[in-house]
A and B are shown apart, each in its own frame.
Chain A
């Protein structure tokens, strides 16, 4: 532990923290995207959507060895700590970088710095604000209309994405995620000292493929719901539907 704290003292150590927390968050978004695909697999024999069953499973997994929601909360705590460390450390490093060149050049000209790399702070800030909004909408149900019912994941998604501004916002933010991942997933391997000319192509390909794959996987949900290509939630009365879309 002492050695980890000593590592964090240095700029290289801080970058390693950003890389490892970034790797954790990357793992989470991959898992989240794959989990979301359950939206497209329909209902079980009893008429309950697979995504609702999956959401329930995330809470009951590990029972009876561990209590209800235990493993979910472990994951949530790891993710919250990772996110806080990621953002805090980036702010500390950004301040250091800012004070390393107080007087900037009159003319800028980049040779090979990619736009995704230069926009990391913008895409990152967008994602941070979005995470708060996204939790408020689909976990706490405090924004996005009166139709929110906890546990009814499919119906909640269905009603939210009937509105163009929610669908549009989610698609836009997923583009931001794609930009962030495009640089971040390669950059973290470089920071951890794992990149070299032998592996460079593979890491860069992984970053690009992740960026495109995550965008398609995530954005498909709001796009298909908004276009009306997804079936109605089970047991929806026409009056409920009218309520839901306002």
Chain B
């Protein structure tokens, strides 16, 4: 019986190191006494590849550890997946609608996803929290600390009307 997790991880790492090794062949080889641009990444690819093989061998030899019996995914994996999808959508819409609106939408959707039980009052509280938190974060970073954020119509309204900065 093998430790499947280690075997899978080792085999994947070995494949990745082979890919990197192949990519270093496209890099120029040095002619002088110093290192060539390919030398260091290539040595690392060999190093990772060798350790990955050790990991596979260890996995095959070790037998099934107690930990390997545990499922790979947690009891709330579906919830995590939804949260992750919301995160990806959030990142994709920032450049389109600006920082504050996308942040408020992400915070509210996450609140709905992660809350244990929902009532009308709780949903309303979540909505208010999301809007205030998004606006507060925008104020602190964009206006107070001067960190440039992508601005959409809502941010411009906040920036030039509500917070009256840059006027």
Does A pair with B? no
Interface residues, chain B, with chain A CB atoms under 8 Å away: none
Interface residues, chain A, with chain B CB atoms under 8 Å away: none
